[in-house]
Amino acid sequence: MNTTPLLEEISRRPLCCDGAMGTQLFARGLAAGQCGMLWNVNRPDAVAEIQQAYRNAGCHLLTTNSFGGTCFALEMHHLTDRVAELNRAAAEVARLAAGPTGWVLGDVGPFGGFLEPVGETTDEELREAFQAQISALAAGGVDAILLETMSDPAEVRVGMEAVRICSANLPIIATYAFQKTGVDEFRTMMGVTAAEAVRRSLADGADIVGANCGTALSLEDYVKLAEQLVAAAGSSPVIVQPNAGSPKMENGRIHYDATPAEMAANATRLLAAGVRIVGGCCGTTPSHLASVSRVVRAKSD
């Protein structure tokens, strides 16, 4: 573990998180439909290479390769019996890549369904699933848990309950994926506004709140969204991990085309809006993050 507590550090200076993992795995030969988490044990060298590239780009925080790591998400790959193994390996690979001065965020994505009464999953079933994933990430040495790309504050609350069962003090970061639903209005897929998502997750125990990914948001939109998140978060730190601009369709494939320079200019505006951790989501690469981290580190080191 990094011996400098993350929350203490974030109160002193802004930090840079890393960028996309999935596209980097595909670039190294992961086939569509294959389980990327298997690479934590079958190709740990490839996962570590990606994380080292982000580390070399200047990212302070590295995210584990464990987005779809609940038994619910692993079910489609028939890997529900390997939750502990694949998540623990994810943490260990990232821990090595981060070195003694980097922080590792144990990545937890949505379970992929809906809680009762909209869906059929109970709080208790979901808590158990998150707990199995998070306890393995904690055993592998993560410095914090990142509940990301979320839409439902109730799912985040259950995730945070699971973190607290596993650890009394592991910091919790909760980030939501938003879409633009009106002039300067952003809501999750479940219809939750930015302010409401922040308020509910802070009340439920999140230490850091914010946004990642999102549907068709422009870089300009992320700045507006960041202003709303910071206003709602009060004195709590905010994290924003934008996509590399809004997605474009090209030959039937989604493509993100913001340049590293555009991402860096955006990071400057996010920091000015009061964001304390800037990273990247879909379409971002180590070269984007090298430009972003230069901006963050100019205010930080």
Per CB under 5 A, does 282 bind Zn ion?
yes
Per CB under 5 A, does 226 bind Zn ion?
no
Q: Which is nearer to Zn ion, 170 or 208 (CB)?
A: 208
Q: Which stretch binds Zn ion (CB under 5 A): 90-98, 194-202, 231-239, 273-281?
A: 273-281
**Which one among 281, 289, 292, 295 touches Zn ion, defined by CB under 5 A?**
281
How many Cα neighbours within 13 Å face the side chain of 51?
A: 28
**Which one among 59, 213, 217, 263 touches Zn ion, defined by CB under 5 A?**
213
Instruction: Using alpha carbons, select from 23, 107, 25, 30 the residue that is nearest to residue 61.
Output: 107
Q: What tokens does 41 get?
A: 């044990």
Pairwise CA distance, residues 206 & 202, whole Å: 5
- Amino acid symbol at 229: L
Question: How many Cβ atoms from other residues are within 10 Å of residue 59's Cβ?
Answer: 29
Q: What tokens does 146 get?
A: 């990142």
Q: Which is nearer to Zn ion, 154 or 282 (CB)?
A: 282
Contact 26, 12 (CB under 8 A): no
Residue with tokens 């990301």: 148
Q: Which is nearer to Zn ion, 6 or 177 (CB)?
A: 177
Number of residues that bind Zn ion (CB under 5 A): 3
**Helix, strand, or coil here: 277?**
strand
Q: Select the residue whose beta carbon is closest to Zn ion and give its number.
A: 213
Per CB under 5 A, does 144 bind Zn ion?
no
Pairwise CA distance, residues 72 & 151, whole Å: 17
- Amino acid symbol at 301: D
Pairwise CA distance, residues 206 & 203, whole Å: 7
Q: Shortest Cβ distance from residue 176 to Zn ion (Å)? A: 12
Q: Which is nearer to Zn ion, 170 or 281 (CB)?
A: 281
Question: x-or-dash pattern for Zn ion, window 162-201, by CB under 5 A?
Answer: ----------------------------------------
Containing 195, the helix (H) or strand (E) segment is helix 194-203
Q: Shortest Cβ distance from residue 214 to Zn ion (Å)? A: 7
Q: Which is nearer to Zn ion, 35 or 282 (CB)?
A: 282
Q: Shortest Cβ distance from residue 240 to Zn ion (Å)? A: 12
Question: How many Cβ atoms from other residues are within 10 Å of residue 3's Cβ?
Answer: 7
Q: Which is nearer to Zn ion, 213 or 278 (CB)?
A: 213
Q: Which is nearer to Zn ion, 2 or 70 (CB)?
A: 70
What does the binding site for Zn ion look like in residue numbers (CB under 5 A)?
A: 213, 281-282
